[in-house]
Each structure stands twice: as structure tokens, then as C-alpha cells.
Amino acid sequence: MNSAIRTENLSKNFLTVRALRRLNLEIPQGAVYALVGPNGAGKTTMIKVLMNILHPTHGTAEVLGTDSTRLKGDWFAQIGYVSENQEQPEWMRVDQFFDYLRPFYPGWDRELESALVRQMALPMDRKLRHLSRGMKMKAALASSLAYRPKLIVLDEPFSGLDPLVRDELVESLLERASEATILISSHDLAEIESFSSHVGYMEEGQLKFSEEMSSLASRFRDVQVTLNAPALPPSNIPAAWLQPASSSTTFQFIDSQFDQERTRAAIHSAFRDVRDITFTPMSLRAIFVAMAKIGRKAD
């Protein structure tokens, strides 16, 4: 499997703060990879290391087969990068902004640029400073897609945007997904769940899991057990049973390693008099909340 991004024992310290801790990540070419996690998890720090804005303290990061510390100049003609707080020359009109950028990117496609401008309804004759936040993000994304990069990196692109603008940005991204790898860090979990192929969860600088979205969805279930008579919860709860809660005749938990036959057998082994068992699929947001709660309890 060819990797668009690969890190090995990647660590980044800021004095006594360990922002990244021996992070091992592999993103296959052609993936739409969603990076999620609570505030302060290290997502933006990792992206800045990948983009050679920050250098790692230990370990390595490779982007499109090249050490991230060597990325410069022409290499960025293959990478589209848009961040939540990206600075723009706000004194320029949108058309001037595009005129300024074109010479830096040999692969700039004027026809694609025109299509993106129409699709995003960009006001080419207005200065960037007079645009709404949503329009500024559209301009940033259009300018990062027009040269057909091999890798698109987006750091919180949907933050603070209304649903219509988010939908328009997602539509533009999906049209490019067949020709690029996409890494997107976002808190808009419902949005990224709808189109991501892979997902990674970060917490306190560590990558807790990284897998295909379909695999994640299949291994998490909200489980409710109904008993015929009151019973105490089992003394040895499996490690994969998260957030166990019980009342007199019900026991509920999240199974993070769900297998219907194995889970059902474990429940019948733990409880003698089971009336009913329900397995409910979980959204990415529900999984995210469950993992975040576990992280807080571990602190």
C-alpha cells in the first residue's frame, strides 16, 4: 500500500508540553482521512509538522514520500493546505488574489479555476477583507484546488460556517477526491462522517485508533441488556465494554469490539436470566463522545 502520509514515533515538545507523543500514522493514497479529537489533542500541531511549519522533536514524518522537513518551494505545488486561521492578503480583490497565485503553481488549471469560481459563487471584484468568513474559506479552498494538488490538507475548514456553505465546500472537495488524498481535521463530525473513508482519533498527542470508517462503524455498538429479575452487574467487565451503567433489571454499555455472536455469548455468561438484548449502531459523534469521556476519566 502506498502512503500519502506516514509518521513514525513522531513527537513534538514545546518546553515541558508534549504536544505529540510517539505518533504512528499511515494514510493511504486516495483516502479521505478524518482526524478527530478534543481541543488540545495535537491535531493542528501534527498538521503543522506535516506542512513543515514546525519541526518534530523526535521521530519522522513523510509527505508524498518526502521527509516533511525537506518540503519547500516546488513541493507545495503538489499540496493544497487550508487552515481555520489562514492569513490572506485582505487588501486584494479575489481576482487579484488568483492572479498573484497562478505563477507559483505550474499545474494551475484556468478552466478548473473558472468552474470553482462559478460553483462557489465567488465575487471576483470584491476585496477579501469585505468577504464573509464563509466566502473567505471558499476563496482559500478554490485557490488550493485550482492547481490539482495530489494532497489536500484542511485544518478545521468548517468551523463557524453555516450549513449551506459547508455543503458547498464538501461538494467541491468530493469532486476532487478521485484525484487527490484528503486529510481533514474537523469538529463537524456529522459532516465528515458522510464522506470520509478513514478516521483517526487523537487524544493528548497520541493516536488512539486509525482505521477505515466502515470498520469503526462495525465494531462500536450501544448495547442494552434487559433482565427478567434484578441482578448485580458482573464483577469482571470486559475491557471493551465502555461506560457500563445498570439499574435493577437493565445493563447498558458501549462495546468497542463488537461481534454479535461473541458479545451475545459474553452477556449470557455474565447474566443468568436475560430477557432481551439490543444492539444499536453508533454515529461518529457518539463514538467520539464515548472516547472523550474515557480520556477524561483516565486523567
Residue 193, pLDDT score: 82
CATH code of 11's domain: 3.40.50.300
The whole-angstrom separation of Cα 11 and Cα 228 is: 52
Q: pTM for this one?
A: 0.88
In a shared domain, residues 227 and 211: no
Grid coordinates given for 235: 464483577
Where in the sequence is the domain holding 76, given as residue range(s)? 3-216
pLDDT at 73: 85
Determine the pLDDT at residue 108: 95
CB 249 within 8 A of CB 229: yes
Q: Is residue 157 part of a domain?
A: yes
Q: What is the DSSP string of 263-292?
A: HHHHHHHH-SSEEEEEEEE--HHHHHHHHH
Residues 177 and 269 in one domain: no
Q: Are residues 176 and 225 in the same domain?
A: no
| 266 and 202 belong to one structural domain | no
Q: Is residue 10 part of a domain?
A: yes
Residues 252 and 132 in one domain: no
Burial of 183 (0-12, 13-18, 19+ CB in 10 A): buried
pLDDT recorded at residue 45: 95
Sign of the alpha-carbon dihedral angle for 46, 188, 165, 5: positive
Same-domain status, 76 and 209: yes
For residues 45 and 128, membership in a common domain is answered with yes
Q: How many domains does the chain fold into?
A: 2
Question: What are 65's three cell numbers?
Answer: 514520500
CATH number of the domain enclosing 277? 3.30.70
Residues 142 and 274 in one domain: no
Q: Is residue 299 part of a domain?
A: no
Whether 292 is in a domain gets the answer no
Q: Based on the fold, state whether residues 260 and 229 are members of the same structural domain.
A: yes
Are 211 and 94 part of one and the same domain?
yes
**Block means of pLDDT (10 residues each) for the chain, length 299 residues?**
90 94 95 90 94 95 95 90 87 96 94 92 94 90 93 85 78 80 84 86 91 93 94 86 90 95 94 93 88 66
Of 191, 216, 241, the domain-final residue: 216
Q: Could you tell me where the beta strands, DSSP code E, fall in 116-237? A: 151-155, 181-185, 198-203, 206-212, 221-227
- Cell numbers that stand for 147 in this block: 492547481
What is the phi/psi pair of residue 244, to 5°? -65, 140
